[in-house]
């Protein structure tokens, strides 16, 4: 049986994944890269990988769910290792089962709530509501149809005259449809709103309007007034939005018109107040409606405070949570990468520090052996990870494959190939190759193939073995009937 994909490898041709345009991203069928190569992500800890990929492998070892696009679970069986980084983040979520049964969400949808208020026929098309760019730091992103529906649902859950409920709902819809920040803000109309409960909802809308318009002093004042509200949703949401208002006030001058940050321009005293407000919210509502957001915004506070030690500790805490949602991991990996790993200092968490060290191994001024050995105490609870870093440094930076072979252990029949120990063995095999021990390297790859059934590791090892056969002038072994190098599922033989 011929193996078409590996034949391309032997002929020296780059192999483009079927899911990517050839002109955009072509993986290089090698085990290592001299620099960052997001088109050739390897299934082991490698300096050539994007930091987000290396973080993913360590997260998987720590028991967190794989990123949605983990190649071993990709829908496209033609994909091989190495793969484009995007593949790690892009696998479509399964479609929900269709149902004709009305749900609670349907009953609380904005259109259903408006119909209950008698506004469905005489109110402008909700499709005209402004569409704001979502994303970190955008206060406008929370002014949407979902939050509007939540507000109106709370009006129905609170005892007040129907006329006041309708007036408040109309003002919330007006807030949804107004441009924010408005060049000429129009005051909301609360004519006829008299009851205590309704007046508190009006105060909330005044605070929300000021918040979206960038009038944070007014927003802070209005949300502070609601801190002792008897209406549970109003009280909790106001405590949360008070903290958000203080954060937005603190960062108001820290970004230019293109969104680039200058942390020196953040209002540091105001950030202290914002931090305290978020902590107060989380203390009062540890499992509250906005607990996840408040925790994330505390990381933003630490970043704006330019406190990498605090930020690293917060990332370490969230990465240690085994119940982290699959859907949130790509965004979290991006956040860690942009906010911490690129300019990391004072990082002591072994997982994050290892990712930083691997990135430094590919830089023009790589981490020195002295700097790496100085970190030993920080890896006291992760000795195998530290061993890998020492071996990787000897191979990638020191260019002394013999030292890597001394540092990295030989595999045994009991070796468990999680991503860390798989990485140890991949680098050990490359060191054997680099040291001129091609037969020993070949035996090494063949042994590892018997120690794992994981598809992505199998593909990585098959690539390593194919390269060894090529370098050893044994190309015919790739195509032998008993060759462990096999065509990936779904690829037609030829």
First to last CA, the chain: 8
pTM over 0.75: yes
Q: Pick out the chain residues at pLDDT < 70.
A: 1-24, 64-79, 89-108, 120-138, 140, 179-185, 322-328, 343-345, 487-494
User: How do residues 4-18 score in pLDDT, each as one tens digit?
Assistant: 344 334 434 344 333
Which pLDDT belongs to residue 3?
Answer: 40
**Rounded Cα distance, 468 and 455, in Å:** 20
Rg of the chain taking only CA atoms, in angstroms: 28
Q: Angle, nearest 10°, between helix axes 162-177 and 110-117?
A: 140
Which pLDDT belongs to residue 103?
Answer: 44
**Rounded Cα distance, 371 and 358, in Å:** 13
Phi, psi of 153 (to 5 degrees): -60, -35
CA triple 255-258-263, angle to 5 deg? 25
**Rounded Cα distance, 262 and 327, in Å:** 30
Can the peptide bond before residue 181 be classed as cis, meaning omega within 30 degrees of 0?
yes
In DSSP terms, 41 is beta-bridged to: 83
**Rounded Cα distance, 378 and 285, in Å:** 34
Quick one: DSSP state of residue 455? H
Domain ranges of the chain: 107-343
Please tell me whether residue 83 adopts helix, strand or coil conformation.
Answer: strand
Encode 223-249: b = buried (16+ Cβ within 10 Å), e = exposed. bebbeebebebbbbbbbbbbbbbbbbb
**Rounded Cα distance, 167 and 174, in Å:** 11
């Amino acid at each position: 049986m011929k193996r078409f994909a590996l034949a391309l490898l032997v002929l020296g041709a780059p192999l483009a994944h079927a899911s990517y345009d050839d002109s955009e991203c072509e993986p290089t069928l090698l085990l290592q890269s001299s620099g960052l190569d997001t088109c050739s992500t390897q299934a082991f800890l490698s300096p050539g990988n994007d930091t987000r990929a290396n973080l993913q492998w360590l997260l998987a070892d720590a028991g967190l769910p794989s990123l949605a696009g983990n190649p071993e679970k990709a829908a496209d069986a033609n994909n091989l290792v190495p793969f484009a980084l995007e593949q790690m983040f892009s696998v479509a979520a399964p479609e929900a089962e269709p149902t004709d049964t009305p749900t609670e969400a349907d009953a609380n949808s904005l259109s259903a709530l408006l119909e209950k208020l008698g506004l469905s026929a005489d109110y402008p098309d909700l499709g005209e509501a402004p569409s704001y760019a979502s994303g970190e730091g955008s206060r406008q992103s929370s002014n949407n149809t979902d939050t509007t529906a939540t507000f109106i649902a709370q009006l129905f859950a609170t005892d007040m005259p129907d006329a006041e409920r309708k007036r408040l709902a109309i003002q919330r819809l007006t807030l949804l449809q107004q441009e924010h920040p408005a060049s000429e803000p129009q005051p909301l109309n609360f004519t006829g709103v008299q009851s205590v409960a309704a007046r508190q909802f009006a105060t909330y809308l005044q605070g929300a309007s000021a918040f979206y318009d960038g009038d944070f002093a007014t927003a802070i004042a209005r949300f502070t007034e609601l801190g002792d509200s008897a209406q549970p949703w109003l009280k909790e949401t106001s405590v949360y939005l008070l903290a958000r208002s203080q954060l937005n006030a603190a960062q108001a001058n820290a970004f230019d018109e293109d969104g680039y940050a200058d942390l020196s321009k953040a209002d540091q005293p105001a950030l202290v107040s914002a931090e305290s407000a978020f902590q107060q919210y989380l203390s009062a509502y540890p499992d509250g409606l906005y607990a996840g957001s408040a925790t994330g915004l505390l990381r933003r506070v630490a970043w704006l405070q330019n406190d990498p030690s605090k930020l690293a500790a917060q990332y370490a805490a969230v990465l240690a949570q085994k119940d982290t949602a699959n859907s949130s991991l790509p965004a979290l990996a991006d956040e860690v990468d942009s906010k911490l790993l690129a300019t990391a200092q004072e990082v002591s968490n072994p997982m994050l520090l290892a990712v930083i060290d691997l990135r430094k191994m590919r830089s023009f001024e790589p981490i020195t052996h002295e700097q790496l050995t100085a970190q030993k105490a920080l890896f006291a609870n992760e000795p195998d990870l530290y061993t890998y870093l020492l071996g990787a440094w000897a191979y990638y930076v020191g260019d002394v494959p013999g030292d890597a072979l001394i540092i990295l252990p030989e595999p045994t029949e009991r070796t468990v190939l999680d991503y860390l120990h798989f990485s140890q063995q991949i680098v050990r095999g490359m060191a054997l190759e680099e040291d001129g021990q091609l037969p020993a390297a070949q035996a090494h790859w063949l042994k590892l193939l018997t120690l794992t059934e994981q598809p992505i590791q199998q593909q990585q090892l098959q690539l390593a073995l194919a390269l060894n056969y090529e370098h050893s002038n044994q190309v015919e072994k790739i195509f032998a009937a008993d060759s462990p190098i096999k065509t990936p599922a779904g690829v037609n033989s030829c």
